[in-house]
Chain A
Amino acid sequence: MLKQLEELQLEALNELGQVSELKELESWRVRCLGKRSKLTQVLRSLASLPLEERKKVGALANATKVSLESSLAEKKKFLEEDHLASFLGRERLDITLPGQPIPAGRLHPVTQTLEEICSIFTSMGFQVAEGPDVEWDYYNFEALNIPPQHPARDMFATLWIDYEETTEQARLLRTHTSPMQIRVMEKERPPIRMIVPGRVYRYEATDATHESMFYQVEGLAIDTNITLADLKGILFEFCHCLFGEERKVRFRCDYFPFVEPGAEIAIECLSCHGAGCRLCSYSGWLEILGAGMVHPDVLRRVEIDPEVYSGFAFGMGVERIPMLRYGIDDIRLFYGNDLRFLKQF
């Protein structure tokens, strides 16, 4: 009987060794460990054996059962891992295939720049306001110290709706965002801190550096004790935010009819770093902003006392900034809206 058990175990293990698939394993279990298996028959027949032998054979039979069961578990684990490995092998992807395309939209580079400019100034406490594109001569010129026939009108080639520049009630397309200085000051009392982004228009033939429509951002701050030094501080900070802390900034005297003293802000050329190149017309500098202290006559016109209050105004072209940053050499690309251009930003 004992010998029979040993042979039985040997045979079962031998068979188990030949099993190579999970589903065969179950039939092996039924054959070797099932109700009709030889082992079960041995266990059932124990009752008929004498006590001494029953003890011996019983212990061995149970040990055999436990041993075969653990061999089965081991084999099962082995086969399962093997199965998974081969399954994964079959399911391998060509991971170099392109992914599912997600539609990607972008903001226009000018919008991106406007957002950036506005966020720099709003962080300094400036509010954003917008004004009309179609303006009265009065706001665009007259109220800004540029009466009819003033030579400074030459600085602004104008698109007119009403063609007479002799009346302040002529309508025109604003040539700069500065009319909003007047509109804001007519409504608000100091302290004022305002920026105005918007479209402006010029009677101008277009080429790589000239557009008939472009964007400007105007700035205005009015209060007691505002100085040119504050203007310099604000605009230097702005230039450093946009063009980096290391960028050299130049603050020089310039003329605009509605400010006095007037100033211009230039940054060191991004292309030649001041050595002089075509981009900067060999000056080493790139003009970024026009600015100055709001002219006392302008303040008087909106009933703000220039002896009590002072303030500054500034204005800048927007397209120039991405042009300089990204090396864009043709301003017409912005409103040509070619997707091959727009998708680069």
Chain B
Amino acid sequence: MKVSLKWLSDYVDIKIDPQKLAEKLTMAGMEVKGLQTVGNTWNNVVIGQVAAVNSHPDADKLNLATVNLGPQQITVVCGAPNISVGQKVPFAYVGARLIDGHTGKATLLKATKIRGILSEGMVCSEKELGISENHESILVLSPEAPMGMPLADYLGDIVFDLDITPNRPDCLSIIGIAREIAALSDEPIHLPEIRYEEMEKPIDSLISVDIIEPDLCLRYCASLITGIKVASSPAWLQQRLRSYGMRPINNVVDVSNYVMLEHGQPLHAFDYHKLEGKQIVVRRAKSGETIITLDGLERTLTQDTLVIADEENPVAIAGLMGGLNTEVDVTTTAILLESANFNRSIIRRGANHLNLQSEASIRFDKGLNPDLPLVALKRATQLLLELAGGKAARGIIDAYPGKTAPSAILLSTKEIKRLSGLEVTVDETLRILRALGFECQETGLLPPQISVLVPYWRSDMKCTADLVEEVIRIIGYDKIPVTRLSASLPPQKSTPERSFKRKLRNTLVGWGFQEILTYSLTSMEKLQRLSLKLEPEVAPLQIANPMTKGQEYLRTSLRAGLLTTLANNQKHEETGIRLFEIGKIFLPQYSSVIAVGQTRGSGEGKVKQSTQDKEGLPQEKEMLCAALSGSRRELSWHDNKELFDFFDAKGVAERLLEQLGLTSTFEPSDDEGLFPGRSADVIIGGDKVGVVGKLHSKVAQDFELSGPVCLIEVDVEKLMNKASGAKRYQPIPRFPSITRDIALVINEQVTFQQAEDIILSFPLVEKATLFDLYTGEQIPEGKKSFAIRIIYQSPKRTLTEREVDKIQQQMLAGLHRELGATLRG
């Protein structure tokens, strides 16, 4: 909301510095986003009067204007078509700083020869003065403008750009802001005095109003003026509309806009003679009914639209836009002026549906008070009579089905203290509330209580807490003390899930993984690319109004975001990349009971349930997904330029589980996104908790990845539940162990797991570690060699070489019998 300081000064004396005032308003909840000084660059610009206009001898479109500046007259070249003798105009001397009409840049005005005529000065357009973008015509000032006066003294102003919060529709008006300033600076407010003459003829003999939908139209006021003359508004009125950023149109439209800006109440004028049957009906539109609105568009309406109709047809969409059929134009001689209160929901829906956001709809949408229309209507009627002439019919139409009695809110200084921590006296409270226009009465009860009646323009005031805010914001939030929370500390509970996630994160970071965070929303295309099947495993939840195609579905896997990130980074990273994300995936689920707004306890009626099967909130599952790509080591002179492979991924999973104290097995996986034969399910206690493997080359290709990529994916919650068991300490062995290395030659199909299982089944075997895997020379075709280090250990005694030899012989026999393994010669 843009407000001119000069305009504000009509209603309140502003004695403090505008910068200070801006700070005060901001602190009190009315944020000043900008403070623009109009005219601070207008040096050498004064008010002149056009004394003569002659055509330029050498140019058709140019004139020579002689401007009287008081002490002297200057003749300059002027191209504006609207210049005429007698006008008061802004005149810039050579040396003035103006905006160049063509380039938009600030430039110093120089004497120039235009088509042979020397021009020392210029008659200015709005654009040249930096007031608006209008460069077609010169700015014409009010006839009362004093000749010779510096323009800055006459038109200079300060414009505040205020951010009005949605609870304060009253401050979408100059008077509303003036009230705030009055209360903040403890100055009285002067409202315009409203008085005008009326004709003999009563208004209800000329028009009737019928509200069919009293819930949607709480009040409808109208006045009627005959014999008016539609013309341009006076310069002062035009100037005020411009200060807000509005274009002047004609006196009738300008007055209704002016009063809307002044009071916050939108108004609408109908050409009275164009109203069929001389009646106004406020009703819902009939389905399929059409209206051509003032913007020339034909609009088809639904029953969800509120219209103002005459006997036959809609003449306006209530609160949004008038109809062309009753438009006020230069031929209009009588108008019906409407000032009404409409239900904000229907206006909001209509504005969205018809795409008709306007200054009026913004105000209705925020919820205006039904007491406002009458005040605003009288003010507009008075101004119209002054500026457009004519006579007002006697009285005012006032259909007010929604009238309610004002109710009082009780406030005590104790309550102010309880909520704000600020000690305020009763006198101070009374002073502030009265300054804001509240009617206050002390109840005489103890502790002291004030009964507060809310003024009509403050429909946001509903409860005591609202009043507390009013009092403390006028005093200033900077006066609120700073205290330390002394309330009792709630019992502190552990948050295992959070700690667990932190542990996972820190572990992976310690191993050189970079954490990433990717969008929860993705595209169907990406989800499909993750699997060789065309359909994703789980149908993802769809956004009804996605912003982009790329963000239309809630992710059902972390892989898409991870692989996209990997592909993007592969383009510039030279060496190995380790990435991971811990985040939620969203799995749709149905629930037979949706407990919405279920409150604690058994307050009946509070629990809203639906017994039908209905889609509920999705399951939000925390997952961990990590990827490895490129070389195992950073590019370095040391060694090892090998690429990450399956066993790096498996190693990460193994070590992670080991750190959590979990024992796992790995079984061949049928994961559709991974390479068959190079992927494994991670199993703990018979339950799959994740998967590791090499990314399927088709998937890698679809994500434009280069080189092999290995993945680790784990269900965080499952892992946490498995890892929650308490750890037990194992005593450190007191007796020495015996180590034996064996090299087995074995069929290629035999897995290491098979050999390991047999070795570990023998007594006293503590650990078996594979330290070499060899095929090639010296090993027959179809065979491989495992080199295994076996550690024998007893918790009770020192082992002898003899007994270990004996066990090992049995072990080798067993390996031979079961797997056909022989010792390598």
Contact = CB atoms under 8 A, between A and B. Distances in A.
A308 B359 CA distance: 43
A201 B565 CA distance: 20
Interface string B484-524: 11111110110101100010011011111111111111000
Contacts of B508: 105
A345 B254 CA distance: 57
A105 B578 contact: yes
B617 A171 contact: yes
Interface string B227-268: 000000000000000000000000000000000000000000
Given A169-B594, A171-B617, A226 B599 contact: no
A133 B519 CA distance: 12
B572 interface: yes
B348 interface: yes
Contacts of B344: 149, 151
Interface string B356-391: 000000000111000000000000000000000000
A251 B480 contact: yes
B677 to A, nearest CB: 28
A21 B618 CA distance: 84
B601 interface: yes
A229 B482 CA distance: 5
B568 interface: yes
A161 B637 CA distance: 54
Nearest to A284: B23
B487 A213 contact: no
B196 interface: no
A223 B551 CA distance: 41
Contact of B515 (A97, A105, A160): A105
B644 to A, nearest CB: 11
B620 A134 contact: yes
A295 B462 CA distance: 11
B688 interface: no
Interface residues of B, number: 107
Nearest to A112: B515
A283 B458 CA distance: 29
A109 to B, nearest CB: 9
B489 A193 contact: yes
A295 B167 CA distance: 14
A97 to B, nearest CB: 7
Contacts of A296: 463-465
A186 interface: yes
Interface in B588-613: 594, 596-601, 603, 606, 608, 610
Interface string A221-236: 1011111111011101
Interface residues of A, number: 103
Contacts of A154: 166
Interface string A120-135: 0000110111101111
Contacts of A254: 29, 31, 165
Given A105-B513, A138-B597, A228 B487 contact: no
Given A251-B478, A260-B465, A227 B420 contact: yes
B477 A233 contact: no
A162 B541 CA distance: 10
A234 B486 CA distance: 11
A253 interface: yes
Interface string B20-45: 00000011110101100000000000
A320 interface: no
A255 B545 contact: no
A205 B417 CA distance: 44
B33 A281 contact: yes
A152 B419 CA distance: 24
Interface stretch (A54-62, A68-76, A336-344): A336-344
A114 to B, nearest CB: 10
Contacts of B418: 225, 227, 310
B546 A128 contact: no
Interface stretch (B51-59, B467-475, B731-739): B467-475
B466 interface: yes
Contacts of B488: 191, 223
Given A149-B344, A229-B483, 10 more contacts: A132-B617, A133-B620, A169-B610, A187-B600, A189-B600, A193-B489, A252-B477, A260-B466, A260-B468, A334-B517
Q: Which 10 A-B residue pairs are closest in the complex by CB-CB distance?
A: A103-B512, A229-B421, A227-B421, A261-B469, A253-B29, A223-B487, A255-B165, A163-B544, A149-B345, A105-B509
26 contacts: A100-B638, A111-B505, A111-B515, A129-B495, A132-B620, A134-B554, A134-B586, A134-B618, A160-B543, A161-B543, A169-B596, A173-B543, A204-B547, A213-B520, A228-B419, A233-B483, A252-B27, A252-B478, A253-B472, A255-B165, A255-B168, A262-B469, A282-B34, A335-B517, A338-B569, A342-B516
Interface of B: 26-29, 31, 33-34, 165-168, 344-345, 348-349, 365-367, 417-422, 463-466, 468-469, 472-473, 477-478, 480-490, 492-493, 495, 497-498, 502, 505-506, 508-521, 541-547, 551, 554, 565, 568-569, 572-573, 576-578, 584, 586, 594, 596-601, 603, 606, 608, 610, 614-615, 617-618, 620, 633-634, 636-638
Interface of A: 97-98, 100-108, 110-111, 115, 124-125, 127-130, 132-136, 138-139, 142-143, 148-149, 151-152, 154-155, 159-163, 168-169, 171, 173, 186-193, 199, 201, 203-205, 212-213, 221, 223-230, 232-234, 236, 250-255, 257, 260-263, 281-283, 293, 295-297, 301-303, 310, 334-340, 342-343
